[in-house]
Structure 1
Amino acid sequence: MQVQNFEEVPQVKNGTIKWFNAEKGYGFISDDEGGDDVFVHFSAIQTEGFKTLSEGQRVTYETEPDPRNSAKTRAVNVTPL
């Protein structure tokens, strides 16, 4: 019996920036589907120039396990709408 290895397809999610501190370069996204807020680092923002977000701004994003704490997730591929 052959076992196939399937890669998990990232799920694009929608959310709203709960808060973002441009000086520190991080903040949190409130997911439209509820649950815990999701950590976002400026390096995950998919824009040119200065990477920042504003409170109340709508975004799409994907999540991955946080390498510092595997019990939590962090946002990646964050795209402002």
Structure 2
Amino acid sequence: MMTATVREWSDEEGWGVLDSPETPGGCFGHYADVQTTGFRTLSPGEQVDLRWEAPGFKQDGHDYRAVSIVPWPV
């Protein structure tokens, strides 16, 4: 896993974009990938641990897709 920063997150749509040095242009993330119990929203600027994959196609304009997002303790 690597450290990433939440660029934007839409509570209504349940997805957002996370930035890390390893995911140039940002990484698409979905609330189902957030590793917590129950629904948890993410806030811009929040730090998370991120595992990602490059799916070989763009997802909402991003080359990388999150497979696991672990929020840091608040």
Output the TM-score relative to the length of structure 1. 0.73
Bigger radius of gyration among the two: 1
Bigger fraction of residues in strand: 1
- 1:80 aligned residue: 71
* Coordinate RMSD, CA, aligned: 2.0
| 1:21-68 deviation line (CA, Å, top 9, x unaligned) | 01000000011x26221100111000112132111110001111337x
Partners of 1:27 and 1:16 lie apart in 2 by 11
Q: Quick one: which of 45, 48, 52 aligns to 1:63?
A: 52
Q: How many residues align?
A: 68
Gaps of at least 5 residues in structure 2 are none
Shift of 1:17: 0.3
Q: Secondary structure at the match of 1:20?
A: strand
Query: Bigger relative contact order, structure 1 or 2, given CA contacts below 8 A and separation 6+?
Result: 2
